[in-house]
A and B are shown apart, each in its own frame.
Chain A
């Protein structure tokens, strides 16, 4: 009888791994945080509480209040409105950077994985050399060569993330190439193009999506760092990194100026990281026990 009393908790523990799909906590929290940032960007296109770039010297450096939730900055601009408008540049840089790295990196990885041999080795060694240049360093190099700005930042971060996409795509492609259906397709004399398009790409799409989310988080961080250094988005366009840099001279006195953009950056990065982790658990075939 006593053993019956002890049974329910252990039962619950045994059932736990078979959670219903769709309630994956990381995925949900990640999606909500990313959704929040996207919603903020969309709303800011049509409405912000105040004009984010309009300076009103009379109300400079005010603390949080009912009218200005996060206060005003050294020029009397509304901090909340700036954070909202700043989300646009963050998302924009991320989309372009991830787009560049995926569009170049995935085909390189697929070719290296399907071909192997000399072309595959050449492509992957090229990716290895690029790996010695992290995105932020690349952005500094391109900034020196062509001038700094949003475009330079996006392109540099995109190029910097190509090796990671190539590696992920290559190892996933190698797995797909060992499957029976690819063997069947080759036996049926399908062209390499057809195999890549019909079999490889759909099967590695999941892991590529995960890589997109992870890269997006990194791009948000790097963009903020560049703007913080004054080498990213130029004023007056609001950006979280530069807001943080501007806040430095008022640290300890007007901490709201640092906290508002700081929290925004952390929420965006956390959102994309959690989304990536959650998607990996849901999409990665290796973790589902399917080879």
Chain B
């Protein structure tokens, strides 16, 4: 077990190192001179030279990569190529917002999807099961920003129950925070609920065919009792996988939902940086997002071994 955690952690560090190198190459090496990207092809040579000296891009690429990595390890994300401001406080501030709506969205999705998916599996031969399976199929096809747009129209404009957008930090005004956080989280969570319902359904269906469930029934447990005691834990392995994958997807999906609700998260910071072609900001924000994705995958791999002891032997 200990060796396995070490091996997984090693993979985590290696993936992060490779990913950061890839980000640097794509953003700083392939497009050519960062000064030209920032100032445009019509900039004067003097302006370009001054820009390069100011942002340190006149140094060799390997030195630039080294100082960026060194900064990341100390928790310093560098300074924006456009505003010249330090990126660290900005990124730390924004990432909290994104994590809040993604976390609440996933919580909401699980609260809906686990019971609904289980119900769909248990009743898969009846009308209920068909209705749930069909509805989740349709839900998967609806993009989260469309859900967001419809929520704004219905809940914010027509009913006037909640604000259409904006953000209040939880520390400033808790009541106002909750009013602003509900719609973005629901928009993110609804589509995820549909996706996870489908996985829960098929995982529970799979488990219901297992011999150990029949044995438990033979040993006198009721159908529901056997499923709760033995089935759901085993259905947990594929569900944990998909929750991990979907958390990663939600972090990226939040980029669009944040735009719908004018939420100042990491995603809207990234979109602004892309539009302004602020390569330094894009580079650091992307590394934060990729690090979160990789860490989520790492936790999922660890959870496997906790949920299913058989994998402790098999996994290398």
Mostly helix, strand, loop or mixed at chain B's interface? helix
Mostly helix, strand, loop or mixed at chain A's interface? helix
Indicate whether B1 reaches chain A with its CB closer than 8 angstroms: no
Neighbouring B residues of A252 by C-beta, 8 Å: 152-153, 156-158
Stretch at the interface among B99-107, B113-121, B174-182, B282-290: B282-290
Neighbouring B residues of A225 by C-beta, 8 Å: 143, 145, 253, 255-256
User: How distant is the Cα of A142 from the Cα of B22 in the complex, in angstroms?
Assistant: 12
Interfacial residues, chain A to chain B (CB-CB below 8 A) = 128-129, 132-134, 136-137, 140-148, 217, 221, 224-225, 228-231, 244, 247-248, 251-253, 255, 258, 262, 265-267, 269-270, 273-274, 277
Q: CB distance B149 to A251 under 8 Å? A: yes
Q: CB distance A224 to B143 under 8 Å? A: yes
User: How distant is the Cα of A43 from the Cα of B141 in the complex, in angstroms?
Assistant: 24
User: How distant is the Cα of A128 from the Cα of B260 in the complex, in angstroms?
Assistant: 31
Give chain B nearest CB distance to A20 CB in angstroms.
Answer: 20
Q: How many residues of B contact A (CB 8 A)?
A: 49
User: How distant is the Cα of A265 from the Cα of B149 in the complex, in angstroms?
Assistant: 13
Give chain B nearest CB distance to A142 CB in angstroms.
Answer: 7
Neighbouring A residues of B255 by C-beta, 8 Å: 136, 140, 225, 229
Residue of A134, A217, A258 most packed against chain B (CB within 10 A) = A134
Neighbouring B residues of A147 by C-beta, 8 Å: 277
Neighbouring B residues of A270 by C-beta, 8 Å: 137-138, 140-141
Given A141-B27, A229-B271, A134–B19 Cβ distance below 8 Å? Answer: no
Neighbouring A residues of B19 by C-beta, 8 Å: 129, 132-133
Q: CB distance B23 to A136 under 8 Å? A: no
Q: CB distance A228 to B145 under 8 Å? A: yes
User: How distant is the Cα of A56 from the Cα of B211 in the complex, in angstroms?
Assistant: 68
Given A128-B15, A141-B23, A134–B249 Cβ distance below 8 Å? Answer: yes
Q: CB distance A247 to B149 under 8 Å? A: yes
Q: CB distance B23 to A231 under 8 Å? A: no
Q: Could you mark each residue 8-29 of chain B with 1 if its beta carbon is under 8 Å from any beta carbon of chain A, else 0? A: 0000000100110011001100
Interfacial residues, chain B to chain A (CB-CB below 8 A) = 15, 18-19, 22-23, 26-27, 30-31, 37, 137-138, 140-143, 145-146, 149-150, 152-153, 156-158, 164, 248-249, 252-253, 255-256, 259-260, 270-271, 273-275, 277-279, 282, 286, 289-290, 293-294, 297
Q: CB distance B157 to A231 under 8 Å? A: no
Give chain B nearest CB distance to A124 CB in angstroms.
Answer: 13
Q: CB distance A141 to B141 under 8 Å? A: no
User: How distant is the Cα of A142 from the Cα of B279 in the complex, in angstroms?
Assistant: 11
Q: CB distance B273 to A144 under 8 Å? A: yes
Neighbouring A residues of B164 by C-beta, 8 Å: 251
What are 26 A-B interface contacts by the 8 Å CB criterion?
A129-B15, A132-B290, A132-B293, A132-B294, A134-B249, A137-B290, A144-B27, A144-B274, A145-B27, A145-B31, A145-B279, A224-B143, A225-B256, A228-B145, A229-B255, A229-B271, A231-B271, A248-B149, A252-B158, A262-B150, A266-B141, A266-B142, A266-B143, A269-B141, A269-B142, A270-B141
Neighbouring B residues of A224 by C-beta, 8 Å: 143, 145
Q: CB distance B138 to A266 under 8 Å? A: yes
Closest residue to A268 on the B side, CB-wise?
A: B141
User: How distant is the Cα of A31 from the Cα of B2 in the complex, in angstroms?
Assistant: 50
Closest residue to A267 on the B side, CB-wise?
A: B141
Neighbouring A residues of B294 by C-beta, 8 Å: 132
Q: CB distance A251 to B145 under 8 Å? A: no
